Structure 1
Amino acid sequence: MLRAACAFMEGDECLRAHALSAEAYHVTASILLKQEDKGLAWLAADRSVQAAHASQSPLMIGSSSRIITHALMDGGHHYAATGAARSAAERMAADLTEPTPDDLLDLRISAALGAIAAADTGSRHSTAELLDEAAEAGRRLGQDANHMWTAFGPNNVLCHRVNVALRFGDAGTAIDYARQVDLEQLPINERKATLLLDTSRAFLMWNRHDKALHVLRAAGEIAPEEIAGRPAALRLVRDILATAPISVRREARDYAATLGVIA
């Protein structure tokens, strides 16, 4: 409907309609990625980029570049994702003469996403460099805020560090970073649940099934839809259940049953 509206509008109204279309496709792609529908997610992400460019808004273009980076990462195209994140940040830096706080956030979030993609290529140097860029932006902000639905800030950067440590297989470092996060300062429950899922995975890598299950249940209490409706979360439940020692197995089985997961 938004695409059709764009065909009948002119001037600022048309640009605004394209911006709304970019946002709608961005949200759609995010949901599809969580559901692991990579094909449709890529299509939605691509349309978000097209609409963003049609809106002529550097902010929307930067925002849509994030979802393209996500789609590339989920598709296993890690080098391309790293390049896309870097290119988006460089393009925005060149285009913005008087950047707003939201513009700066897009720049730094691109750096954070690039760091995660770089971790999947095995490049520790690039990962550290990009995470430091994101951390500097977090320090400048001073607090976590949900500008452009990013939940970005100092604690969010720590969440990215947790995820990156996991990707390198370093469960101890992931848990250390997770313990530094002030969960109450994260502005959206989805972000809190994602951090707790990563922390649960780290404890499972450490063979601390009791803690992995405890943290997973905490995530479910904060954002139940992120556990019950997310394939990756249900796989984590199965992994805990499949490898749990006798002391934890009954509790794990009971919790899995509430989610419809059967051993």
Structure 2
Amino acid sequence: MAEQAAAYLRGEMDWSSPKELSVYGTLLLPGAVAAAREGDRRAARDYLEESEKVALRLGIDRNDLWTSFGPTNVAVHRVVVANSLGDVDAAIQLGRRIDPSGLPIERQVRHALELASAYVKRNQIDAAVGQVLEAEKLSPEQTRRHVMSRQIVTAMLQTKSGKRNRDLVSLAIRMKAL
């Protein structure tokens, strides 16, 4: 579906319009994530590369039509794709280098949770807890209710070091996950 929509837009869009570039570039990002979740590295890479070209053409992070599109959001999606493909070390390395503070809160929270997920996969519980707590500072309601954060907290609680982490236990209680 993403490919069909992208093909249509490629032929119809005004390549000088920031709004149209933002919509087109944003459309490619879920395509990359879907491809990664299906294990299709090549398609995921192709979607990301095309989206990055559009982001570079745009030049800056924007929020036209609530897309949050630009170079930073493409980088955030690179982390999601790497994590989805099982390239956890790459996800962590990429994720640490991103400053998402210019993105809307929802995207900042999602980035922190994605990085936390990667840390959990490497059994780096303290780092994962730190990311979830950072997300909670940004948006307590969103973090406590997000299915991803609940899954991450539950996974951490099931590890030996997670059971001993006081910050994690307090977080789990606030989330009503314990």
* Unaligned segments of structure 2, at least 5 residues: none
Q: Distance in 2 between matches of 1:141 and 1:246?
A: 43
Q: Distance in 2 between matches of 1:98 and 1:206?
A: 42
Q: 1:195 aligns with which of 111, 116, 120?
A: 111
**Alpha-carbon distance, 1:101 to partner:** 1.4
Determine if the alignment matches structure 1 residue 126 to structure 2 residue 38: no
Determine if the alignment matches structure 1 residue 159 to structure 2 residue 87: no
Partner secondary structure for residue 165 of structure 2: helix
User: In the alignment, what sits opposite 1:150?
Assistant: 67
User: In the alignment, what sits opposite 2:128?
Assistant: 212
Instruction: Map 1:234-253; keep pairs closer than 5 Å.
Output: 234-245=150-161, 248-253=164-169
Q: 2:102 aligns with which of 185, 188, 202?
A: 185
Q: Which has the larger radius of gyration?
A: 1
User: In the alignment, what sits opposite 1:254?
Assistant: 170
User: In the alignment, what sits opposite 1:40?
Assistant: none
Give the counterpart letter for 1:206 in structure 2: R
User: In the alignment, what sits opposite 2:29?
Assistant: 112
Percent identity, please. Answer: 30
Q: Distance in 2 between matches of 1:235 and 1:172?
A: 20
8 Å CA contact 2:14, 2:20 repeated in 1? no
**Alpha-carbon distance, 1:143 to partner:** 1.8
User: In the alignment, what sits opposite 1:43?
Assistant: none
Q: Can you list the C-alpha shifts for 1:75-102, whole angstroms capped at 9, x where unaligned?
A: xxxxxxxxx1111011112223566211
Instruction: Map 1:1-263; keep pairs closer than 5 Å.
Output: 84-96=1-13, 100-186=17-103, 188-245=104-161, 248-262=164-178
Size of the aligned set, in residue pairs, is 178
Partner secondary structure for residue 62 of structure 2: coil
8 Å CA contact 1:138, 1:153 repeated in 2? yes
Q: Distance in 1 between matches of 2:15 and 2:119?
A: 44
TM-score by length of 1: 0.64
Partner secondary structure for residue 169 of structure 1: coil
Q: Structure 1 residues 173 and 246 mapped into 2: Cα distance closer, same or farther (>3 Å)?
A: closer
8 Å CA contact 2:78, 2:91 repeated in 1? yes
* Unaligned segments of structure 1, at least 5 residues: 1-83
For the aligned residue pairs, the C-alpha RMSD in angstroms reads: 1.7
Q: Can you list the C-alpha shifts for 1:160-183, whole angstroms capped at 9, x where unaligned?
A: 000001111111110111122112
TM-score by length of 2: 0.93
Q: Distance in 2 between matches of 1:97 and 1:214?
A: 43
8 Å CA contact 2:88, 2:121 repeated in 1? yes
Q: Distance in 1 between matches of 2:67 and 2:163?
A: 40
